[in-house]
Homo-oligomer: A and B are copies of this chain.
């Protein structure tokens, strides 16, 4: 006999009372209440959540892009030839636009090739750790990994209490995220679905070595997200949260014609004072038009950051 989940007395303290908070709590109560027609067996409780713009900010540039820019700056004294590359010049200027131009983000891929490939997985992991320890967000002046959203951390904790298995499903690189997800979100590395290339295994001087490459590069964005979910998780989710049109296909896959009860949730960036405000027009990633337009018909919840969140960040940060 499945047991009843004991909900915390104040399960989502950074969410203001209202339609969105009520609907989240109602859904979680229904699917965890034994005997409810919406009850889901625990193995079926799969939640998928985007990362950039959903669990932490993506402005002024996605944090992984900031990492890549800083890596180039760090390497430039030793590798001055890098500076001849127009995409490196854009990166050094912190200018995302040329990198995101072109139908296949050729500029961004060039940057990824320079900073995320042709190196051992351990070298890359150490570089990400060193960067997180030293880099500071330009506006909030604190380490990037302290900038997670309090309401979303509370949602992750509540999903865990409800015996959900939460997966991060992000366009970001899986090797970049796995360095810190367990410490920052309590999510183990195998529950991260992201963009990735193959690694190449060999023994070097008798010691195992995994070389990062861009072979078979898989971009986990847009219609790639349901494909990534199928490939890595192999089960259809029942809870999905995103914040951009890159999450549209994942929201559709989770909620349309799903025989299980399901919930879709969009985070809408409406709070320029405490964070950032953008949707149709974004100077970074995170354009949100089609998913927002479909939300009412699809029954997706839209969390309005200014309206629905009493607190934005887990740490007390002061915007400059």
Contacting residues, chain B, for A233 (C-beta < 8 A): 189-190
**Contact at B223–A200, with CB atoms within 8 Å?**
yes
Residue A24 at the B interface, CB < 8 A? no
Residue A81 at the B interface, CB < 8 A? no
Residue A253 at the B interface, CB < 8 A? yes
Q: In the complex, what distance in Å separates the CA atom of A35 from the CA atom of B45?
A: 35
Residue A2 at the B interface, CB < 8 A? no
Main secondary structure of the interface of A (DSSP, over half): mixed
- In the complex, the chain B residue whose C-beta lies closest to that of A179 is B234
Contacting residues, chain B, for A190 (C-beta < 8 A): 165, 167, 190-191, 232-235
Residue A256 at the B interface, CB < 8 A? yes
- In the complex, the chain B residue whose C-beta lies closest to that of A252 is B208
**Contact at A189–B253, with CB atoms within 8 Å?**
no
Indicate how many identical chains form the complex: 2
**Contact at B256–A208, with CB atoms within 8 Å?**
yes
With A190-B234, A200-B227, A234-B189 in contact, do A208 and B257 touch (Cβ < 8 Å)?
Answer: yes
Residue A74 at the B interface, CB < 8 A? no
- In the complex, the chain B residue whose C-beta lies closest to that of A203 is B252
**Contact at B189–A231, with CB atoms within 8 Å?**
no
Q: In the complex, what distance in Å separates the CA atom of A227 from the CA atom of B165?
A: 24
**Contact at B182–A231, with CB atoms within 8 Å?**
no
Contacting residues, chain B, for A234 (C-beta < 8 A): 174-175, 178, 189-190, 192
Residue from the list B188, B196, B201, B206 in contact with A223, Cβ < 8 A: B201
- Is the interface on chain A under 10, 10 to 19, 20 to 34, or 35 or more residues? 35 or more
Contacting residues, chain B, for A230 (C-beta < 8 A): 121, 199, 210
Residue from the list B192, B203, B224 in contact with A256, Cβ < 8 A: B203
Q: Could you mark each residue 196-227 of chain A with 1 if its beta carbon is under 8 Å from any beta carbon of chain B, else 0?
A: 10111111001110100000101000011111
Q: In the complex, what distance in Å separates the CA atom of A296 from the CA atom of B142?
A: 52
Contacting residues, chain B, for A189 (C-beta < 8 A): 233-235
Question: How far does the Cβ of A295 sit from chain B's closest Cβ, in whole Å?
Answer: 16
Residue A80 at the B interface, CB < 8 A? no
Residue A249 at the B interface, CB < 8 A? yes
With A43-B182, A208-B256 in contact, do A202 and B223 touch (Cβ < 8 Å)?
Answer: yes
**Contact at B200–A231, with CB atoms within 8 Å?**
no
**Which one of A165, A189, A225, A231 has the highest number of Cβ atoms from chain B below 10 Å of its Cβ?**
A231
Question: How far does the Cβ of A209 sit from chain B's closest Cβ, in whole Å?
Answer: 10
**Contact at A226–B208, with CB atoms within 8 Å?**
yes
Contacting residues, chain B, for A191 (C-beta < 8 A): 190
Contacting residues, chain B, for A218 (C-beta < 8 A): 198, 216
Instruction: List 5 tightest A-B contacts by C-beta distance, closest first.
Output: A189-B234, A201-B226, A178-B234, A201-B223, A190-B233
A sample of 18 inter-chain contacts (CB < 8 A) reads A174-B231, A189-B234, A190-B191, A190-B232, A190-B234, A190-B235, A196-B231, A199-B226, A200-B223, A201-B223, A201-B224, A201-B226, A201-B253, A203-B256, A206-B257, A207-B256, A208-B256, A210-B227
